[in-house]
Chains A and B, each alone.
Chain A
């Protein structure tokens, strides 16, 4: 995290990314396979109307949709709105229009983008045509966007158009989701991390039950009141409980076996999780006295990683009575 002087709290950019892998049922599978072959399709409802994209179930009879038909790749704009400031991952990265477009042969419009330079180039009722992506994979983004047709070509699109028709059937899609945030720590967490940048461990005491929380929280989870009083804690404590990590996993930084432990700092009422190193894993035990091993000062930031790990102090083990309520 980087410190922002004018801000009460610490902020850092945060990205959350995940590729959702989704299987397709029979209806959407046909729709996506069609797109891959550069052919738009719709579903025929019980009243005979054609809806694009095809719904999986009829909205009136609730029966599964079974009839899928090809529609044109040209159509009419039924309504539109101007995207003056596009956001990440939209079909176009310059200003464009979103529109509901009724394709020739369809009775309900499809939501997609229209590539024009200005809102003055958009009009309800105008004709547009699919601009296919260079490579089609079986996704709604195979339609890169729509583009206006000159008004002289009002004849309507041919049905069906000429697709690359032997592309493999599509049974699933991968939808990448990328979200970006300005992530802020709470005021209490911010004090904690700023303290760490100075080599100090700061907790806070509940004014009601007098328990000391580290890292400090916005409110005492017992009393629901803000933990207002700052308490500086030593970097020594007691192992209350621990586990030996034997299983390798993606991103693991230490070679197993090693120990993750709850360390109850002297004077604190809540233990926090850290590593116990500089000893054999099978030497670690409940009640073991440990101390923080700090990284070199020039590597410190506003992060818990300033403490590399904890190691045994060599003191006699703590009496069980001193930590039993934390188990």
Chain B
């Protein structure tokens, strides 16, 4: 259990279908950092630690995370780290660093230009390199294997999937960063042709470019008083992993999500931002995290409305925190996933305090 109280005190994002620019994403990170300094009233010197999540495989630029450090203005040198995972895991690293007392504040960012390659193919690089990657199983096909199992076992039907995607797109209407949005009915979705049987295009997150960043602070940080009360306190932060082998998993379940959720305290939230890049995965996550029908799920539109790789999980945590700042939620969770078919899952539970 956490020893030190840590809050999400800043969040900024950019999402777009195709970014016409360098894979380092410096040009979108600079305004994101500027926005965070405006939100917090802080400057670079208030940040004790910087941590990023990205992968060079997305767009083929080697050491893009090193070039991205230009956006910080890292001279004199800063305390900095990087993970080749969604930046939600970079946030976890920063949170642990705060827990062990090394730092009080952190700025965590994720970025990626998925449109530079064929994303569903590139992601085969994360599979078992001996028996899976040589077949180049694409992300959509793997998700289709999972979706069909649930369909044929009666865990969900096409209508349930269409409800998820139409609700996501409708909820995203007010999200200025969403890529796929607008009032959509279940019938609209069901009228779409099946693309990767059993999936429709609406069941799959759109290929997205973008970046996002979050600021963490303890109450003891010297700059905390400048924050004008904008704080979503982290009460649980956990991540777990299932096997990479698809054949030995029940793909309709996600034990790692259930374990992370119960350890982080997912059961009594009123709002959940779930990183479900495929519509049926939202249904799996709802079950594993114990979310009832009274929980508001993905008010931002979720990953189905925009899914910039390596930032999308962090965006879920930021969107959940935003609902706490605004008072719409008193206890919310942000979830991130990584790996094939919900293999790795992270849950961050936050609450508001008066």
Per the CB 8 Å criterion, the residue count for chain B at the interface is: 64
Contact A55 B245 (CB under 8 A): yes
The 8 A CB mask of B145-158 against A (1 = contact, 0 = none) is 11111001000000
Known: A14-B60, A219-B70. A179 touches B75 (CB 8 A): no
B206 nearest CB across to chain A (Å): 16
Known A112-B135, A219-B26: A183·B71 in contact at CB below 8 Å: no
Given contacts A14-B60, A83-B141, contact A219 B75 (CB under 8 A): no
| A112: B residues at CB distance < 8 A | 135
Q: Which of A80, A140, A180, A184 contacts B148 (CB 8 A)?
A: A80
- Are the C-beta atoms of B118 and A186 separated by less than 8 Å? no
Q: Mark A57-68, 1 if CB is under 8 A from B, else 0.
A: 001000000000
Cβ of B125 < 8 Å from any Cβ of A?
yes
Residues of B within 8 A of A222 (CB): 73, 75
Nearest A residue to B120, CB-CB? A87
- Pick from B136, B146, B247: contact of A108, CB below 8 A: B247
Q: Cβ of A7 < 8 Å from any Cβ of B?
A: yes
Q: A52-B247, A79-B149, A80-B148 are contacts. A187–B136 as well, Cβ < 8 Å?
A: no
Task: Report whether A24 and B145 are in contact in the complex, using a CB–CB cutoff of 8 Å.
Answer: no
Interface: A249 (CB within 8 A): no
Please, which residue of chain B has its CB at the minimum distance from the CB of A54? Answer: B131
A7 to B61, CA, bound (A): 19
- B70 partner residues in chain A, CB cutoff 8 A: 217-221, 224
- Cβ of B122 under 8 Å from chain A: yes
- Residues of B that sit less than 8 Å from A by CB: 20-24, 26-27, 29-30, 33, 44, 57, 59-61, 69-75, 113, 115-118, 120-122, 125, 129-138, 140-149, 152, 194-199, 243, 245-248, 251
Point out residues on A near B: beta carbons under 8 Å: 7-9, 14, 16, 20, 22, 24, 28, 31-32, 51-53, 55, 59, 78-84, 87-91, 98-100, 108-113, 119, 122, 124, 139-141, 173, 175, 177, 179-187, 189, 217-226
Taking A81-B140, A100-B145 as given, write out 4 further A-B residue pairs in contact, using a Cβ cutoff of 8 Å, ordered by the A residue number: A90-B136, A98-B144, A111-B247, A179-B60
